[in-house]
Structures are given as structure tokens and as C-alpha cells.
Structure 1
Amino acid sequence: MTDTVQTEAVGGVEIFVPLNKLKKSPRNARKVPHGEAAIEALAASIQHKGLIQNLVVEPEVKEDGTQTGYYLVTAGEGRRLAMLLRTKRKQIKKSEAVRCWLDTQNDPAEISLDENVTRTPMHPADQFERFAELSIEKGWAAQEIGARFGVSASVVKQRLRLGAVSPKLLQVYREDGLTLDQLMAFAITEDHARQEQVFENLHHNREPWIIRRDMTAANVPAADRRAVFVGADAYVEAGGNIIRDLFSEDRGGFFEDAGLLDMLATEKLREIAGEVQAEGWKWTEAHIDYPHAHGMRRFYPQSVALSGEDEARLDALSREHDELAEGYSSYDEMPVGVAAKLEAVSDEIDAISAKRSAYDANVIAHGGAFVVLHHDGTVRIERGFVRAEDKALADPQPENETEGETTDPETVEDEQPDDDDENVQGIEEEDEEPGKPISDSLTRDLSAHRTLALRVALGERPDLALIALTHTLTAQVFYSYAEAGCLEVRPTVTPLGSHADGIEDTPLAAKANEAREAWAERMPRDVADLWGFIVGLDDEKRLALLAHCASSTVNALRLPWDRKPRTLQTADRLATALALDMGKDWTPTVDSYLGRVTKAHILEAVAEGVSEDAARHIADKKKPEMAEAAEQRLAGSGWLPAVLRTPKAEVERSAPVEAEDLGSVEQPSEAEAPDTEAEDGEASFAVAAE
């Protein structure tokens, strides 16, 4: 093709100008330069389809009126830059002839402005449908379409997904009945019937997040513990479909078939349960949720001394571990070989350390384990449960034993005290029968004196009082033996599952269970050995055990049939002393709060947690939409309902009374005495709160 560069410009003709003879016109109306993406798109279009629209040019003229041989691009600067990009990529030469329209009659600035103003862009819905047609009719993949239009494959996939939305909804979008954000929310699936059903059920509140929620109401988020446990690959391999949201962060999408997901999770848990049963357990059960109502007694592993060989090997491994890790703060900093060796050493250390505790052979032979899913999708194995019919076999020791004492039924009547005889005779008649035990009345008398002496002595020994209290609580909390201790302290552990659905599967419940199991694994199997175990603890660990036992008895439930204002007042004081922040473990959602209160309460929550304006903005919504909108606005605000708030610490506290002054304090009369129940707990938590 020959260059057509005229020495005397004649307007209104088509000419061909070498690319390197074209310049940007100083009178181009566009001052903001074209973006890189736009130039990329133009370059791709020209590469595959040629120059669809020619450039409008005028000759460059010197001050003396002579032409320079160059041409100024009046309209088409973007196309000029796109062709220069093609030369940079070695797709064309700099001398490539470019088809141009020579215009010397019109004002170049007006032409440039006209080109950018006097045009109507294609409606996005038409664009989406045309992209879909290219994919269906020509069979082009997203990568090929993207290459022809200079956009990424991900952008093409988005446009294809939008083009696959129900034609009915696309028409509503064309008529401005839907926004682009709303249309993208419908495009989360390609099920036209589902899209139209959700659209028909929408009310005046058409927030995109509400549409997405309704579109995926029957699906399982990828963050669900079942999905995490099974994994996307296994689910898809089994025939499941994962819905992907191409327009927002979906964190892995949504698993469409909840039934299939449950089946896969249960099968995988059963496989693990089979491996656990191979340890020798009589039975194992696999459940997605932990069966809280199993009603079985649980046994825990007991401490076992390592063999001399294992102790020596553990010492050697510990030294090797320290030598390998010296100078490194993480595995990432280590050479690959060192990191692999260190990991192998750590695994062997863990394997030997695991031998320090083991279940009794009787418990394994007659007991079992539950294999369940943890809240984060990891496997939770709970061993040591014994069914009622196997309890005697697993723990042959009777719970109640009478030490060295037998009773002859025929002598029971003779041993009962005769009140009439005691009134006549001040001294019991001496019984000549050798070996006969003393009477119950005398035993009761003597034990009363001993009990009083124990009370006084224990009151003077706070250290032993701590041991005795810890022993009594531990025996009942961990062993269910109320008769194991001599203190008449009865801890009541109230299950919370019946008061709040799903509370046992929360991270907070997992933390409480882990703390309990950590203690249970250290304790002796026989409650008779518990006293020695507690005495052997240092002060810090003993206090920690007492705190754990005491914590399991906390009851701050507010029940309509159980009015206990002073108990709840003390619970508030305890929360203040502990600086309890429920915002770390609880958030207001439709299920947890907003969907279960009145509209007035919802608006009050938004006003307090966000602003009055935010509350007014949702005030005209129906309750379901209002609750959902409130959940979005309150997310991350830290707002809590009054029941969950921790009262502020009291500023003023009464001065403590010295111990030696107690005897000299004048006691108030009964009429003047304060309500001790109302004051209960104030002194206990005053120091902690301060």
C-alpha cells in the first residue's frame, strides 16, 4: 500500500499516512489522557479486526504556512496510541499506513469535541448479551474473547455471567428497574427460575446483599465447618456444584447440595472413627454435632511414667531440637533440609510425650469415643465414654465402700437407742459382749465435737481451707462424688444448651471444654487419690484448679420463673471485677437478637451503636428487612444489648476492716443489722474491681 501524503492538502478525502507521520493535535478536546486499559482494548480490537474507524487529521503547518509533512490527529488519538502500542510489541512497523480522513474545512477542536460528545454508548445489557452470543454461537472461551476486546478473562466471565441472567430481569435492568449491583447479585447463579422467584418475592428493600442472601438461602457457605472438613475438591468430585460469586468476595463460594455435603462429612467422620476404634475401643460413633444428651460416664487418661529408654531418647531429641532451631525464629528462615529435619524431630518428641498419659485397659475394652466436627471444621475426638451397661466392667471399684464394718441384721434392733431408757438412766448399761461397737448416739455425740474442732482449726489455716475446698469441688465437678469431701459445699453446674441453641458449638464453649479436659487428663482415676494430687500441686496450679471448678458453677441466667435480683446483682459485680467484654464473643445478628425483638428495639440498637441518622434511614422498613439492614450496620460496632453489658466499676469503696479490730467492733442489733444478702458479694469483688 502506497503512502498518500499530499503536498497540498485537499479537504474531504481519504488518505493513508505512515504511522510515524502522525502526531497528537494540540487542539484535541480530550485533556485527560486515555487509560492503559482503554488503549489495550483498542490495540486488541485493531489486531483482530483491523481499523474499523479511520482517524481524522489535518496537515501540520509551519509559521510561514508551509507543511511539515506530518499530520495532526484531530479525532482518533486513542487509536493512534493503540497502534503505537502494536509497534512496541513488534506487531506492525512504524511506517504502517494508517487510513485517515483529511479535514481542512472544520474546526479541529470542534471535531474532537463532537466525536466524544455526540454519541450514545451501548446499554450494558446489550453488551452482556452480545458477549454471551459470542461464547454460545462461536464457541469462544473467555480467554479468546478477552484477547479480541483487550480485557481480562475474569472481566469476560463477569460479562458472560451477567448475559446469562434471566431475559426477564435483563429487560427490567434495561428499563431501570434494577441497578447493575442488583443484577450482579442475581447473577450469583444461572438458575433463571430461582432468579425470577427471588425477584418476585422482593419488597421495597432490594439491597444487593439481601438478594445474594435469598439466592443462596438453601446453600452452604464455603466457610461452614462441613465444607471446610470435606473440601471443595472432594465435594465436586462427588458430583456437587459450587456457586461462585464473580462480583464480590465469596470466600470460596456456596455449596449447592447441603444433603450431599452432610453425607460426605459423615462418611469421612466414620472413616476416622474406624481408625480410632482400631486403638482397641469397644465402640465409636461419628456425628457432625456432639451428642450432648448421651448420658454416659466419662473416664480420662492417667499419667504414665516413661521408660528409661524413652526418657533418654526424649532428652537427646530435646537437645537436638534446640541445636537445630538455634538462630532461627521460624521454619521459613531455615534451609529446606534443616526445616525438614527439625519437623521430624518435633514429631518424634510429640510421639514420645504422648506416652505420658494413657487410658486404663478396662476403659478401652468397654468404652468408646465420639468423632465429631469442631466449630472450625477440624475433627474433634472425645474418648473415654462408658455406657451404663458397661460401667461396672470398666470401673470394677464400687463407688461406696464401708471400710471394715459388717452389720448383722438381727442385732440392728438391739443397737437402736431407747429414748425411754435414756430418760430413766443417765448412764448406759455396760454391755459385757466383747467386740460390740459403741452406740450410734455416742458416735453422733463425739463426731459433733470433732466437727466443731475441725471448723475452728480449718478457720485458722487458710492454706488447708483452700486445699479442702478445692478437693470438695473437684471431686464433684470431675468425679460426681458428693461424698468424697467433708465440706458441705455442693457445686451446681447448670447446662446452658437448653437456654441458647448452638451455644455448645461456639468457640467460647470449645475454650471451656479444652480447659476442663486439660485438667481431667492430669487427675488420678480413683477419687481416693484426689487429696494427694491436690496437696502435691503448687499454690499457683491449686488456685487455677479452684478457679476452674468455681467457674463451672457460675449461673447468671435471667429466667422469668426464677426471680433472683441479688444473685444477678452479684453477677454484675463479678463481670465488673473481671472487666468482661462480651463484644469479643457476641455480635448482634438477625438470629441472635435483631430478629427476636420489636422494631423499636432494633431502631434503638442502631441509634446507639451507629447513629440516629442510620436508625432513621431504616425506620420505614418492614421488620425482616429492618433486622437485616440493622445487622449490616451494627457489624463491627461493638454494640451490646443491656443484658450483656458490663456495669462500670464503682468509684467509692468502703475502707477495709483490719482483722485484729473485728473483736472490738460493736455488733448491730437485729433491727439495725444490714440486709446481708443484699450486700453479698460486694466485699469479695471490691479489691478486684479497683
Structure 2
Amino acid sequence: MAKSQTKTKTTKPPVAEKAADAATTAIRLKQDLRMIPLDQLDFSPLNVRKVAASAADDAELLASIRENGIKQNLVVHALSGGKFAVDAGGRRLKALKQLASDGVIPHDYPVSCLVEDEQNATVTSATENLQRSAMHPADQFEAFAQMIAEGRKEDDIALKFGVSVDLVRRRLKLARIAPELIEQFRVGELTLECVMAFTLTDDHDRQMTVWNAVKDSYHIHPQSIKRQLTETAHSASSSIGRFVGIEAYEAAGGILLRDLFDDNAAAHMENPELLERLAVEKLQNAAKVFEVDWKWVEVHLSVDYGAFRSFGRVYPQDIEPDADLLAEENALMAREEELAAANDGADWTDAEADEYYSIEPRLREIEALQKARQPYAAADQAIAGCVVTIGHDGALRVEKGLVRPEDIPVAAEQTEYPADGDTEIAVTRPNVSPPTSSAPVPISDPATTLRKADGISASLADDLRASRQHILRAHLAADYDVAFDAMLYALCEQALSRSYGTEALNISISPFLAQNRETLHPDTVAQKMLDALEQDLAVEWMTLEKPDDFLAMSALPLPQKQSLFAWAVGLAIKPQLLSDNHPTPIIEEIGARLDVDVAACWR
């Protein structure tokens, strides 16, 4: 039986076929490359990019094309009438038309274009936009540094890339981050915000020390990095920093750490010994004025809040208030009442709101000015003194009329009369208010306090500490505003700076971690909500030193405080299913009140 003869079709191996197709495509593309006048190019409705780039990105591209020209072909398809639609390169076309409109290039400027069939337009547009990957910031940093090493100027780099010189300098600052941290940034262990936080110092060893301290945290926050980098420094916005001033500090050779990425952030003074010496010298110079009239004058960098209660007091004499200041005070108080009566501020214009909130500070200024005019009696000054220190606002603070216990006159009466009742020869004695505390309270700076502490036994210190806490507890329990600020500070201290405890209150919260963290996709609705909320948190105050950070937090508007409070409490919520052993109904009630739709937030 004869075998049937079947003609076998020869086929190319898959690899060879792909190579042939690629070669054919390359030839086709090369053949379709043309120089087309700009005025024959129009925007294509088939371009898949619908979300416009930012104005800043467009400006950067425009500057780059102006300086460097077009480096990549546009992809077009032919229209009727000799026109062409741009399927890929719409932003470049927009920039070219703008340059033509500005007279930089002619309207018929030749543009390199790749012409293809209309049916391929959508695929081409999508492919270009999907395959184009933004340059990683770490690569940008190092590229700028390399260009500087090659002799390029910062101005030249800025011009080439269409960015500001300041931006180039900031990115160059990032390029000087420790190489180990740059690698952590590349692999996603550090966010851009965290890398920016490390630029407070150029000391790589210090950067790595802080990194090793925070790297095992569940969530590494930029504020935690900044706080650790500046823990031995004074904020320029602190009371002592404002008192000395940046100019005087730098003139004395002090090193200043600046946040290059936040113009509103406070700089940090890295030489605390120098800063304190300058502050003491300034206080001593200010004290010379008071040494003439008072029995004694002491200079202290800081004063304990209860320090002056161990002194007696003499007060200035009453005199008629300044007429102009009194008239201004009365007018301001009347205006304050008028504004407050206007529907509690609901109908205020912006100008009226600004006016209302400026009245109270001015009233305090007037009160201080009137008080400063009141003189002390010479007899009072002969037994009293004053303490010259720094106020919380960074201004000079002079506490006058302090009488040491040993200087308080034995007789409590203001006037002593002779036995015969002759009032004409009455002897006047200083009228001294007694101390409000019988326990001696140190008013010195921390170094002096430590020296005097050696004279107090451990048991006495315990008793004093317990009594002080008891008194403070009673007052704190009666003041909601201060209590809320204290609690909010303690929560933020742990939730945002990842501290293990708080110095002020005996509370502790620990962010609960999901047991299966790999299941928590970063693109879930819940994570996007958290990212948006965290981005809007007012946390700049956390970079300040204590207690300036507490004072700054306390001064935040109530809505910002509420956002911080809710964020911190949200971190502490426990994971739970109803099928768990002994589930708490409180969590379910919280979810019900929040009207949480778990299914909608699942992905």
C-alpha cells in the first residue's frame, strides 16, 4: 500500500518569526519618519491621556524644550487636507505651539514625527503612556550630583530641566544623604518625606544612628526622624532661640540646621552651650538697669512655674491710668462686644473675624503698658528684688517686687502710730503680701537645681513630689481645656512620634498591627482615607523642644486638635471579629455609630 504523499507547510520557528516581525516593523517605522511643519499638526481625540498634567509639569516641559529642543518623535496619523493628528506627544505639541505663539520658533517649525495608520492610534497612545515610567527621585538626586561633578552649574541644570535653581539645590541636598539610606529609599523602605527629613544634617553617621533607632517601627514618620536628629539642639522658635536670635547666634559661630523642604519649619540651633552662654550674657546686660533701684537682682535662663510662690510681694503704687490708653481700651472692649453680638460670629466677614481676634492681644498689651507706668515705693524696693529671665514668648521677662522670707518685716501693719496718737509722725512700713508657699521652691536653671538637690533627702523629695502632684491633679481635674490639651499631647507623643511612654501623663497607647499585614493592599479605600488624613495632620509643632511643642499644640485651632485626637485614637482600635472569643460589643457599637460599610472599603 502506497503511502499518501502530503505536502508539508514550512513554518518559521516562533523566535525567528518574532525577529522577522520586529525587523519588518523597524523598517516600516524608519520609512514613516517625517519632518512635518508644526502648523500641520493638531491634537488627536484618540489620545488616551485625559487627565491633564499639572501646570508646573507643563512649565517644566516647556522650559526643557525651549532649551534642548524635542528629543522624542511625535506619533501621528494623517487627516484630510494635509493635516496630521498627534496620537502620542500631546504635551510636547502644546509646548511647541506655545513657543510658536511666543515667537520663539516659527509656526512652520519642522517637527520629527512617526506616521502610522489611524487604526493603530489608540494602541500607540496607550502603549506610550503605560510604558513611560517616571524617573525615581533617588536617580534624579544622583544625576544632578553627577552633573555638578562634571562641572555643570546649578543655573545651567535648572535651565536644562526647566526647574528653579532652588529645586536643583534641594535635590542636590538629597543626593548627599547617606548611601545606605538612598538604597532604603530605592527599595521602598523609606518614603520621600522621610528622606527629606534626614537632610536636617549632612552627618552620615548621625543619619544612620537615627535610622537604626527608627527602622523597626511599624510606621516611620518624618517627624520622628526630625525629632531625633534635633534632640540635642534648640529650636530657633523656642523661647531661648527667639530671645538670642538667629543673627546673633550665627555671628557667634553657631551652627544652624534648616529644613530645606519646609520654609515654615523652624531652624534648629545645634550648639546648646553657645546658645545658653549668649542668652545669659544678654540677660546679665538687661539686669544692670534694675540693679540700681532694687535690693537684689538674679538672672536665670528658666523659671519653674511655682517658683515665685515662696516669695513675699510688694506691689507698685496706683496712679491714674494713661488717658489715651484708657480711651483705646474702652473703644476696643465696646467693639469686641459689638462683634460678639453679631450672631456669635457666624455672619462675620474675614475682615471682621481678623479684627475680633486681634482685640484681645491688644487689650493685654494695654494692660501691660498701664502696669509698667506704675512706680514702686523706694521703701519697697529697699527690701525687694527681681528675677530677670526669658518668657515663653522669647521676650525678656522681669518679675519685680519679690521679697525673700528673711527680708519680710516683722510688723504686718502698713503704718505704725506713736502712743500719743500723733498721726503727723507716723512711720510707714512696707506692705508685703506673704508667700503662698512655705516650701522653698528653686527658681534656678536646671544646672543650679541639680546642685541644690543634693541637700534634700530622698524621703523629703518623695513627700514634696507627692504633694505637688496632688495639688496639680486637683486643678487639672477642674479645667477641661488644659486637661484635653494634656491628653492630646500624650496621645500624639506616642501615636505620631512612636515614643514608648509619655513624660506628663500616666497613659499608654499601642497601635494594633494587623496579623496578616500582607493582605492589606496599599490601594484599598481605607488606606487611601488614612493617607489623606495623615497628610493633613498639623504636626509641625512636634519638631519643637519641650515645652514649646506643648504650647504650640495648645494654640492650634480646635478643628486641627480634633483631627489629631481622632487620628491617635484610630491607631489604638483593636482588631476583632464577632466570632472571636469574648468580643467586646463596644467595638461593634463604635462601628455602628461611624456607619462603616466594610464591604465598600474592602478594596
What is the aligned-residue RMSD (CA, Å)?
A: 5.4
Q: 1:238 to 1:92 in 2, by over 3 A?
A: farther
- The answer (yes or no) to whether the contact 2:254–2:269 under 8 Å persists in 1 is yes
The CA deviation at 1:180 is 2.9
Distance 2:371 2:212 in 1: 62
* 1:296 shift after superposition: 8.0
Shift of residue 362, structure 1, vs aligned partner: 3.6
The letter of the residue matching 1:80 is L
Could you report, residue by residue, the CA deviation over 1:485-514 in whole angstroms, capped at 9, with x for unpaired residues?
xxxxxx87678889xx99x9xxxxxxxxxx
Alignment of 1:477-556 (within 5 A): 478-479=433-434
Q: What code does the residue aligned with 1:17 have? A: I
| Residues 561, 478 of structure 1: alpha-carbon distance in 2 compared, 3 angstrom cutoff | closer
Q: SS state of the match for residue 301, structure 2? A: coil
Q: In the alignment, what sits opposite 2:194?
A: 182
**Which residue pairs with 1:86 in the alignment?**
99
CA contact (8 A) 2:312 2:404 kept: no
1:583 aligns with 2:484: yes
Q: CA deviation at 1:130?
A: 0.9
Give unmatched runs, 5+ long, in structure 1: 1-8, 62-67, 334-345, 406-474, 481-490, 505-557, 607-613, 621-627, 641-690
CA distance in 2, matches of 1:639, 1:494: 39
What is aligned with 1:235?
249
Q: Deviations over 1:393-440 (max 9, x none)?
A: xx59699999999xxxxxxxxxxxxxxxxxxxxxxxxxxxxxxxxxxx
Q: CA 1:197 to 1:54, structure 2 compared with 1: closer, same or farther past 3 Å?
A: same
Q: Report if the CA contact (8 A) 1:222-1:251 is conserved.
A: no
The question of 1:636 aligning with 2:556 is answered no
TM-superposition CA deviations, 1:196-226 (whole Å, max 9, x none)? 2222344510512332222222222233211
State the SS of the aligned residue for 1:133.
Answer: helix
**Which of the residues 53, 56, 60 maps onto 1:34?**
53
Does residue 48 (structure 1) correspond to residue 62 (structure 2)? The answer is no
2:490 partner SS: coil
* Equivalent residue, structure 1, for 2:137: 124
CA gap of 1:638–1:492, structure 2 versus 1, over 3 A, is: farther
Preserved CA contact (<8 Å) 2:200 2:257? yes
Are the aligned partners of 1:229 and 1:378 in contact in 2 as well (CA < 8 Å)?
yes
Residue 380 (structure 1) aligns with: 397
- Cα pair distance change 1:254/1:326, threshold 3 Å: same
CA distance in 2, matches of 1:304, 1:404: 27
Tell me the amino acid that sits aligned with residue 107 of structure 1: N
Please, which of 41, 57, 79 is the counterpart of residue 76 of structure 2? Answer: 57
TM-score normalised by length of structure 2: 0.59
1:221 pairs with one of 235, 238, 248: 235
Task: Give me the whole-angstrom Cα distance separating, in 1, the residues matched to 2:441 and 2:73.
Answer: 77
Q: 2:179 maps to which residue?
A: 167
Q: 1:324 to 1:479 in 2, by over 3 A?
A: closer
- Residues 12 and 145 (structure 1), Cα distance of their counterparts in 2 relative to 1, 3 Å cut: same
How far 1:137 sits from its partner (Å)?
Answer: 4.0
User: What is aligned with 1:370?
Assistant: 387
Alignment gaps of 5+ in structure 2: 1-27, 340-349, 352-363, 420-429, 450-461, 518-541, 543-549, 551-560, 570-603
Partner residue, 1:151: 163
- Cα 1:588–1:579 change in 2 (3 A) is closer
Q: Is the 1:56–1:100 Cα contact (8 Å) retained in structure 2?
A: yes
Specify the alignment match of 1:553 in structure 2.
none
Q: Which amino acid in structure 1 is aligned with residue 434 of structure 2?
A: Y
CA distance in 2, matches of 1:362, 1:587: 48
What is the deviation of 1:288?
Answer: 0.6
Q: 1:296 to 1:579 in 2, by over 3 A?
A: closer
Q: Which amino acid aligns with 2:433?
A: F
Deviation at 1:381, TM superposition (A): 0.4
1:256 aligns with 2:270: yes
* CA spacing shift, 1:106–1:320, aligned 2, 3 Å: closer
| Partner of residue 588, structure 2 | none
Quote the offset at 1:34 in angstroms. Answer: 3.5
Query: Which of the residues 109, 113, 122 maps onto 2:122?
Result: 109
Could you give the per-residue CA deviations for residues 79-124 of structure 1, whole angstroms, max 9, x where no partner exists? 1111122234332232322232334598232222232233454332
Which residue does 2:288 correspond to in 1?
274
- How many residue pairs were aligned? 445
Query: SS of the residue aligned with 1:107?
Result: helix
Instruction: Output the CA distance in 2 between the equivalents of 1:126 and 1:576.
Output: 55
CA distance in 2, matches of 1:359, 1:127: 67
Report the structure number with the largest CA radius of gyration. Answer: 1
Letter in 1 for 2:237: A
Question: Which residue of structure 2 aligns with residue 193 of structure 1?
Answer: 205
Amino acid at match of 1:72: A
Alignment partner of 1:69 out of 59, 82, 94: 82
Q: Distance in 2 between matches of 1:583 and 1:123?
A: 43
- Whether the 8 Å contact between 1:244 and 1:250 is mirrored in structure 2 is no
Amino acid at match of 2:212: E
CA distance in 1, matches of 2:502, 2:370: 55
In structure 2, distance between residues paired with 1:201 and 1:578: 37
Deviation at 1:159, TM superposition (A): 2.0
1:602 Cα offset (Å): 5.3
Change in Cα spacing, 1:125 to 1:575, as seen in structure 2 (3 Å) is closer
CA distance in 2, matches of 1:369, 1:560: 26
Structure 1 distance, partners of 2:482, 2:335, is: 39
Q: In the TM superposition, what whole-angstrom CA distance separates every residue of 1:216-250 from its partner, at most 9, and x where no partner exists?
A: 22222233211122222322232223222244576
Query: Is contact 1:10-1:104 (8 Å) kept?
Result: no
Identity of aligned residues (%): 28
Secondary structure class of the residue paired with 2:289: helix
What is the alpha-carbon distance in structure 1 between the residues aligned to residue 215 and residue 486 of structure 2? 33
Structure 1 residue 295 displacement after superposition: 10
Shift in alpha-carbon separation, 1:617–1:382, aligned structure 2, 3 A: farther
Matching of residue 20 in structure 1 with residue 39 in structure 2: yes
Of the three residues 223, 226, 232, the one matched with 1:212 is 226
Contact 2:314 2:380 in 1 (8 A): no
Change over 3 Å in CA distance of 1:380–1:639 after alignment to 2: farther
- Partner of 1:30: helix, strand, or coil? coil
Q: How big is each residue's C-alpha offset from its partner over 1:308-367, in whole Å with a ceiling of 9 and x where there is no partner?
A: xxx8xx55886799899999999x99xxxxxxxxxxxx9999878755x43232443464
Counterpart secondary structure, 2:565: coil
SS for the counterpart of 1:370 is strand
Specify the code of the residue in structure 1 equivalent to 2:40: K
CA gap 1:275/1:585 in 2 versus in 1, 3 angstroms = farther
CA distance in structure 1 between the aligned counterparts of 2:405 and 2:507, rounded to whole angstroms: 49
Amino acid at match of 1:60: L
* Residues 15 and 100 in structure 1, CA contact (< 8 A), matched pair in contact too: yes
Q: Which is further off, 210-219 or 78-87?
A: 210-219
Change (3 A) 1:84 1:240: farther
CA drift of 1:151 comes to 3.1
